[in-house]
Structure 1
C-alpha cells in the first residue's frame, strides 16, 4: 500500500447497470486525473435511481467493478439509491466524505467543464428567492421539475440560455447535484469531471462504438430473453471479465416485479393505507393509482398508463418502486436528518487494497460494516432502520431472482463480501 500519509484515493458514484467499457474508461481516467492510488466506488444496491431493479444483483455488479479497476465498493443506502437525483447525490457525497480517506470525486459529464458545473451548482445550492418563486410558478403550470428549473433560471437572468441548457443532459445534471451536495455539506472533496464518450446515457442502440450505454446493453439482454435466439454476447461492449459474468448471470427486469406491484397496491388499498405515504407519490398520483384498481398491468405498462407531462416515466417508476419496497417520505426525511450516511457497508474489495479499509476505520467518522451479523448494534438506534431497509430491499430482490430462475440464492445474512 502507498505511504499512509500520502496515498491518494478518488471516489466514484455509480450504478453499473451493468458495467461496460465506458465505466472501465471512467475508473482508469479518474485515477489518472486525480493521481490516485485507489478508487472507492459508492454503488447503488439491488435497485437503482431510475426506479427499477438493477439488471444484475449488487454482488455480481461489485465483482464486475473490482475486475476492472475499482479497489473498494460500498453500498449507497437504499432510501437514497432509489431517490431523486438530489438525494442520490447528497447521500453518495456524504458517504465518500465521511470515510476520511477520499480526496476527490470524479464523475462523467457531457460538457466536461468542471468550472461551469460548479458555477451552476453554486447558484442552485443558494436557491435565491426569485428563483424559488419562479420555480414554484412553473411547477404549478404543470411543467416537469427540469423544465420549471430551466425556465426559472433563465427568466430570473441567473443563467444564460447556453448555461441553463447544460441542465438538459443527464450526466451534467448529476454532476451539478454532486457539486451542489459538496457545497451544501461544506465538503473538502475536490470535484473532477471527464467528458462522457460514446453513446448518450439513454441511447438504446448498441453499435461497434466501444462505449455503448447501459440502457442499450439492458435492451439487448431483454430482447434476447424474450427471443428463442442463441445467447450470443459477443457484441456487448463490455470488458472481457464482465462478459463472462453476463453470460453466466441471471438478469432481472422491471416486469419481473409486476405481481409484487399489483399485490402491494391491492393490499394497501384494502388496508386503507394512502398511497401518498410513500416517497415520490403525490396526492394526484395516488388518486390516479386508486382509479386504476384493480388493473393488473405489467410494471412497465403501469408506468406508461400513469405518466403525464408533469409526471415523467422515471418519476412514476420511482414512486411505484417505493410502494413495492415500502420506502416512505418519512423514512427519507429521517435519513436526511441522520446525515445521509451514518454507516458504510462494504460490498467487496481487492485483496491488494485491504489496508485501505484499515485506514478508513482509523480516519473515518462512520462505522465500516463488513459483516451483517450484529451490524445494527454498531449503529445508533435512530438510524438502524436504514440498514434494515437495505436488508429488506435485497431480500425482495433475491426472492424475485430465486423464483424467476429456480436457483438457490444466498441472502443478506449468508452472503459474504466479494473479495477479488
Structure 2
C-alpha cells in the first residue's frame, strides 16, 4: 500500500481541510492517508479549542485513515523544528509523499527556492544574525534575510505563513535525503489569518473567533465545516462545558509565575535573555492573558513566541527537557491516535519494517518524552470541572480510536 502524509492541526477541521485531503489523495495516488497532528497545544503556542481525540474522530470520518500525534517538543515550536518532527514522524511510518497547502501551490517553486537558499545560505545567515543583533524578532529577521536573497517576491514569497511552513517541510526532506516526494496544493479562498467567515471555505482562525463570540454554533459556522466537525464540537462543548482558550488558563499560568523564583523561571524553555524579569514585573499588574502578552511584547518578542513560552511555563517544560528531547534527528516512537480499516491494513503491512515502536496508550515508561506528554495532558484538561476533566483525561490511557 502507498501512503501520503499530511501535517495538520485541525483547530478545528473545516471545509478547506476536506478539500486538501481529497486533492492530496488524488495527486499522490495513495491508498492510505496519514495525518500527523499537533496534540493539546499548537505550533503558534495556543491550546487546541477541543481535544486531540475529538479532532481525531473528525479526521477519520473525513478521509484520513491514520492519525498520529506530533510529540509536544516538536509541536510547540518554530517552523523548522515543527517541520523536523512532523516529517520524521511520517518518514518513520513509511509515507512515500507529503502534501501540504501553500499560498504558492507549485512544488517546483519550493524546490527552486531551496536550491537558491543553499547557494546563498551564507548571505542568509549573515543577514539574519545582523537583524537579530539589532533586536529584531526572529520571524522578521528571517523574512528580511530571505528578501536579501530574493525569496520574498516573484513566484515564491517566504513572507507567507503556509509558504514558510512548506519550505521547512521541503528543506527537512532534502537536507536529510528522505525518500519522500513533496507535493503541494494552493490554499483556496481564505487566508491563514483571516478574521471573518466570508465563504464556505474559511480559515480556522475565523471559525474559532466565531465560536468564541457566539453561544451556539451559528449557521455561518455550520456552512464552513463538515457535519462531523459540527457534531464533535457540540459533543465536546457538552462534555467539557467550555472551549479551550488562553484566557481560561490565565489564572493557572499567572499563579505559576507569581510563585516561581527568577531562577526557576529562567530555566523554562523560551525564557531567554533575562526575559524572566519582564515576566515577573508585568505579572503584578496583569488582569488577563491578552493584556499580559501586550505588556511583555516588544519588537524582539513576538506574540507567538510569548505564547509558546507561556505553554512551557504552564507545562513546566525546561530548557534541559527540550534539549534532551530534540537531541536526536529522529523521533523515539510513533503515537497512534486513531485509524480505520484501511489504516489497520497499512499498519499490519509495514509494522515489521518500522525502526521505532508504534504505541497507542500513553505510558511514562515508554520514553522520557512520554512523561512530558503526561504533564502536557494534565495541563490541558486542568481548566475543566473535576468530572469531565477526569473522564476526558482517561482517553490518554485507552486504545487508539478505531472506526
Q: Tell me the TM-score normalised to structure 1 length.
A: 0.88
Preserved CA contact (<8 Å) 1:11 1:104: yes
Preserved CA contact (<8 Å) 2:53 2:395: no
Deviations 1:340-367, CA, capped at 9 Å, x for gaps: 4110001111134312122332222110
- Counterpart in the other structure of 2:92: 98
Query: Counterparts of 1:157-168 in structure 2 under 5 Å?
Result: 158-159=149-150, 162-163=153-154, 166-168=157-159
- For the aligned residue pairs, the C-alpha RMSD in angstroms reads 2.2
- Counterpart in the other structure of 1:43: 37
Match of 1:305 among 273, 276, 295: 295
Please state how far the C-alpha of 1:199 moved relative to its aligned partner.
0.8
Preserved CA contact (<8 Å) 1:94 1:341: yes
In 2 relative to 1, CA 161–283 (structure 1 residues): closer, same or farther, beyond 3 Å?
Answer: closer
Q: What is the rounded CA distance, in whole Å, between the counterparts of 1:95 and 1:126 in structure 2?
A: 28
Please state how far the C-alpha of 1:203 moved relative to its aligned partner.
0.5
1:385 has 2:371 as partner:
no
Q: What is the rounded CA distance, in whole Å, between the counterparts of 2:387 and 2:257 in structure 1?
A: 21
- Counterpart in the other structure of 2:232: 245
- Counterpart in the other structure of 2:240: none
Match of 1:184 among 166, 175, 194: 175
Please state how far the C-alpha of 1:278 moved relative to its aligned partner.
2.0
- Counterpart in the other structure of 1:256: 248
Match of 1:205 among 188, 196, 221: 196
1:71 has 2:65 as partner:
yes
Q: What is the rounded CA distance, in whole Å, between the counterparts of 2:233 and 2:126 in structure 1?
A: 48
Q: What is the rounded CA distance, in whole Å, between the counterparts of 1:403 and 1:122 in structure 2?
A: 54
Q: What is the rounded CA distance, in whole Å, between the counterparts of 2:45 and 2:165 in structure 1?
A: 16
Deviations 1:348-395, CA, capped at 9 Å, x for gaps: 1113431212233222211000233xx555x5xxxx221111121112
Q: What is the rounded CA distance, in whole Å, between the counterparts of 2:225 and 2:31 in structure 1?
A: 24
Q: What is the rounded CA distance, in whole Å, between the counterparts of 1:177 and 1:401 in structure 2?
A: 36
Preserved CA contact (<8 Å) 1:22 1:211: yes
- Counterpart in the other structure of 1:268: 260
Please state how far the C-alpha of 1:86 moved relative to its aligned partner.
1.1
Q: Give SS of 1:321's match.
A: helix
1:366 has 2:360 as partner:
no
Count of residues in Structure 1 that have an aligned counterpart in Structure 2? 397
1:115 has 2:76 as partner:
no
Q: What is the rounded CA distance, in whole Å, between the counterparts of 1:105 and 1:164 in structure 2?
A: 21
Q: What is the rounded CA distance, in whole Å, between the counterparts of 1:104 and 1:21 in structure 2?
A: 22
Match of 2:218 among 232, 251, 275: 232
Q: What is the rounded CA distance, in whole Å, between the counterparts of 1:124 and 1:359 in structure 2?
A: 38
- Counterpart in the other structure of 1:59: 53
Q: What is the rounded CA distance, in whole Å, between the counterparts of 1:293 and 1:305 in structure 2?
A: 9
- Counterpart in the other structure of 1:150: 143
Q: What is the rounded CA distance, in whole Å, between the counterparts of 2:22 and 2:152 in structure 1?
A: 34
Q: Give SS of 2:98's match.
A: strand
Please state how far the C-alpha of 1:400 moved relative to its aligned partner.
1.8
Name the stretch that deviates more: 290-299 or 397-406. Answer: 397-406
Q: What is the rounded CA distance, in whole Å, between the counterparts of 1:151 and 1:415 in structure 2?
A: 47
1:18 has 2:8 as partner:
no
In 2 relative to 1, CA 412–167 (structure 1 residues): closer, same or farther, beyond 3 Å?
Answer: same
Preserved CA contact (<8 Å) 1:14 1:42: yes
Q: What is the rounded CA distance, in whole Å, between the counterparts of 1:97 and 1:74 in structure 2?
A: 12
Segments of 5+ residues of structure 2 without an aligned counterpart are: 238-242
In 2 relative to 1, CA 293–313 (structure 1 residues): closer, same or farther, beyond 3 Å?
Answer: closer
Please state how far the C-alpha of 1:275 moved relative to its aligned partner.
2.6
1:314 has 2:300 as partner:
no
Deviations 1:276-295, CA, capped at 9 Å, x for gaps: 32222222432211222433
Segments of 5+ residues of structure 1 without an aligned counterpart are: 1-6
Deviations 1:164-196, CA, capped at 9 Å, x for gaps: 961111100000010111122221111000000
Q: What is the rounded CA distance, in whole Å, between the counterparts of 1:163 and 1:278 in structure 2?
A: 40
Please state how far the C-alpha of 1:117 moved relative to its aligned partner.
1.3
Preserved CA contact (<8 Å) 2:247 2:290: yes
